[in-house]
Amino acid sequence: MSTRHLIGRRQFLIASSACAIATAAVGPKLFAADAGESPRRLAVGFARFDESAAVHAAEDIPAGDGAFIGRGARISVSGASGASVDPRDRRAVELITHYSYFDGAVRKVAPFRAWGCSRTTGCQGNPVSFTVPVDEMQKIVFSVETERGTPRAVVSRRDALAGVTPEAVALPVSLTLLSGEGTKLVRGFYVIVPLFDNDAEPRWSSYELKKLDGRWALHDRNGNVAPFEHFVLRIDYAS
């Protein structure tokens, strides 16, 4: 993978504070999808670090790995693969990590923009690695912001006034050590796929993880990148 930026607890809070106000302002609207919007969800696959490990649905992971407690999690994000050639057809535009911490006796959340891309130029942010403690909450919470419609950068003032703006929704996903809650947190690769309308969940067993231009991506048995947008999180112990 290319250059990484390693972010510790103090640096994480400093970096997060810059985007916390903006994210907090739009967060409620993104999570509260209007009744008229098309259903959206995330499909999550998983593969262990073992060479040629099979990809399967992350919901099949039987239990979380308690060894993350006291160590924290190191997360690496390299960007999206399988997107349309036309950047305007992209779906995932941001990956936010919600970092939980205490300010005195008050629990707060610092949203950290770990990854993002442009729907007008196709550019993606640089690969990044960062650490997240899991001791207090025993889980890691992400949200994937999806967008469709005319990209913001090309919406005219007239269209904006007429309400012709892109649909944006943030879809949450949690990786947890707690029993009975969400997708389990273990060491390995998590593959996140935004689904719209009648999209079917990928047939995970038809793919394997390989690197392409320094980026992890799903490939079929013929070596072709999976024909749907996805990105891969590599999660390991932080220490």
89-97: average pLDDT: 87
User: Which of residues 98 and 102 earns the better pLDDT score?
Assistant: 98
pLDDT at 34: 40
Q: Could you give the CA distance from residue 52 to residue 208 in angstroms, rounded to a whole number?
A: 7
Taking only the tens place, the pLDDT of each residue in 145-155 is: 988 777 765 54
Work out whether the CA dihedral 175, 176, 181, 183 comes out positive or negative: positive
Choose between 75 and 103: higher pLDDT: 75
- Give the CA distances from residue 23 to residues 26, 83, 98, 110, in Å, rounded to whole numbers and listed in that order: 5, 25, 10, 9
Average pLDDT over residues 93-101: 90
Burial of 62 (0-12, 13-18, 19+ CB in 10 A): exposed
| 190 close to 45: Cβ distance less than 8 angstroms | yes
For residue 191, pLDDT beyond 90: yes
Q: Which run of H or of E encompasses 80?
A: strand 73-81
* Residues 6+ positions from 85 with CB-CB distance below 8 Å: none
